[in-house]
């Protein structure tokens, strides 16, 4: 006997459409609790397009699918409190780290972000049952709630080694209170020392490894492992396998009570998405989102196309540096490409990522396209000016990359590893030594 597939009849535009509920999209939508009408409204698509995703006639937007899975994962985690964990979000920006750890069932209990514009975007997109604190240096550590995980995308700053060298010569002890004093990393280390959370995740630019001739990274590793006693591992990950953008960032993970976490076993997607997946289609298949798109076809607004004067300047500038053998210049991309790194300076001229247009000057990405390029999707609210939006997305993390890291950390966050045996401690010490040796190799080779 053949399997009966539930069928739903939908009426739109005077036409009755049938949708089968055995598609991946239909399953994800039902689990998320969203209706077809809500998805069309939230993601700027026509209901007809969403119906076709539902029936399997068209392949759904992968960004929408990812959002639906995130919504379901978050709701499911709330229903199973035993699998939940708490975290704090430091240097929170617009919430990229939080969005990723929300998706695997975490609950944010404390937030710190000093930039008022970022705080506006953050609070428009996340429900906060706690105040968003400002400067991390002004936080009273004794008043903070308990938490399992510390998240921080801290700024990269040099550490002075003069005091350390003097103490070494005098035979006096020193530690992170001396080595990192005056830096924002010091405030992170203080919290770890004071609260002893189960784990932490730190994120930074790839060049942290070579910053100040490698001194900065060596002090960070030594502080986290030797001074604070965490088992530490790190990995540089290129976002190009998650979004159509080259963006290398270092992720440093530490666990208080386990020595078996390793980035080596973390799987990275093999296929890289293309730029066309995040560009406005400009064919009426998505709803108009002013001020980014206009008209019945939701075409990109004219203000994002470069003026003749700016385009001429960028070409002249690029040619001048090309003649000198330098690589400076604009980056021009089409739908089948992977872009350069989106930076916080994108608001100035957009030169690092320009989009080809037929019979027209190239254009900048819209802020909505930047949101997609960073993995925030269509439902993420952008309540600030274009200038602020470009800065915020350029400074953020790529959400799907952090989600992959979060999923890799999750079993260790939820598992009960108990006390670490003497043998495990010995293995941990050996692995930490290998980390320092690896850090030295990075510094020497410039990788």
70 belongs to a structural domain: no
Same domain, 184 and 120: yes
Cis peptide before 291 (omega within 30 of 0): yes
69 belongs to a structural domain: no
Q: Which residue range forms the structural domain that includes residue 118?
A: 83-272+399-445
pLDDT in tens, 385-431: 999 999 999 999 999 999 999 999 999 998 743 333 333 333 444 44
First vs last Cα of the chain: how many Å apart?
61
Dist. CA 435–CA 433, nearest whole Å = 5
Q: Confirm whether pTM is higher than 0.75.
A: no
420 belongs to a structural domain: yes
Same domain, 312 and 371: yes
β-strands 85-90, 106-112 pairing? parallel
Dist. CA 339–CA 336, nearest whole Å = 10
Same domain, 152 and 219: yes
Phi and psi for 341 in degrees, rounded to 5?
Answer: -75, 130
Same domain, 99 and 185: yes
Element (H, E) at 85: strand 85-90
**Catalytic pick among 20, 156, 178, 370:** 156
Is 156 known to be catalytic?
Answer: yes
Same domain, 303 and 172: no
Residue 145, burial from CB neighbour count under 10 angstroms (0-12, 13-18, 19+): exposed
pLDDT tens digits, the chain, 447 residues: what are they?
333 334 444 433 443 333 344 577 877 787 777 888 888 888 888 888 888 888 888 888 888 888 888 877 665 555 444 448 999 999 999 999 999 999 999 999 999 999 999 999 999 999 888 889 998 889 999 999 999 999 999 876 554 333 344 344 445 444 344 444 447 888 899 999 999 999 999 999 888 888 878 888 998 999 999 999 999 999 999 999 999 999 999 999 999 987 689 999 998 988 889 999 999 999 999 999 999 999 999 999 999 999 999 999 999 888 887 777 666 678 999 999 999 999 999 999 999 999 999 999 999 999 999 999 999 989 999 999 999 999 999 999 999 999 999 999 999 998 743 333 333 333 444 444 445 444 544 444 444
Same domain, 56 and 110: no
């Amino acid at each position: 006997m053949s399997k009966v597939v539930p069928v739903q009849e939908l009426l739109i535009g005077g036409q009755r459409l049938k949708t089968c509920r055995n598609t991946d999209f239909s399953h994800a939508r039902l689990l998320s609790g969203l209706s077809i009408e809500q998805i069309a409204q939230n993601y700027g698509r026509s209901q007809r397009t969403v119906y076709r995703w539902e029936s399997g006639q068209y392949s759904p937007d992968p960004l929408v699918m990812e959002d639906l899975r995130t919504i379901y994962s978050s709701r499911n985690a709330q229903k199973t409190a035993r699998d939940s964990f708490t975290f704090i979000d430091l240097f929170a920006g617009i919430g990229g780290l939080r969005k990723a750890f929300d998706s695997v069932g975490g609950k944010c209990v404390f937030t710190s972000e000093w930039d008022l514009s970022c705080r506006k975007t953050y609070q428009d997109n996340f429900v906060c049952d706690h105040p968003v604190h400002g400067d991390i240096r002004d936080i009273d550590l004794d008043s903070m709630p308990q938490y399992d995980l510390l998240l921080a995308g801290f700024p990269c700053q040099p550490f002075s080694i003069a005091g350390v060298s003097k103490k070494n010569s005098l035979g006096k002890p020193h530690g992170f209170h001396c080595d990192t004093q005056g830096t924002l990393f010091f405030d992170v280390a203080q919290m770890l020392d004071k609260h002893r959370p189960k784990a932490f995740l730190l994120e930074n630019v790839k060049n942290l490894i070579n910053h100040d001739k490698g001194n900065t990274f060596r002090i960070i590793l030594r502080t986290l492992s030797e001074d604070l006693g965490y088992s530490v591992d790190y990995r540089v990950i290129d976002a190009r396998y998650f979004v159509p953008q080259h963006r290398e960032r270092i992720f440093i993970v530490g666990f208080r009570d386990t020595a078996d976490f390793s980035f080596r076993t973390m799987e990275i997607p093999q296929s890289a998405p293309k730029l066309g997946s995040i560009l406005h289609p400009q064919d009426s298949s998505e709803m108009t989102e002013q001020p980014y798109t206009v008209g019945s076809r939701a075409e990109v607004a004219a203000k994002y196309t470069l003026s003749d004067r700016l385009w001429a300047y960028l070409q002249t500038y690029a040619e001048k540096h090309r003649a000198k053998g330098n690589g400076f210049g604009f980056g021009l991309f089409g739908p089948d490409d992977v872009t350069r790194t989106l930076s916080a300076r994108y608001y100035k001229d957009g030169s690092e990522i320009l989009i080809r247009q037929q019979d027209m000057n190239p254009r900048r990405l819209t802020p909505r396209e930047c949101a997609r390029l960073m993995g925030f999707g269509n439902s993420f609210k952008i309540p600030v000016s274009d200038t602020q939006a470009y800065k915020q997305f350029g400074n953020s993390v790529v959400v799907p990359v952090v989600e992959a890291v979060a999923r890799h950390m999750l079993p260790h966050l939820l598992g009960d590893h108990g006390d670490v045996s003497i043998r495990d401690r010995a293995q941990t010490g050996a692995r930490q030594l290998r980390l320092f040796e690896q850090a030295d190799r990075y510094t020497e080779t410039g990788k």
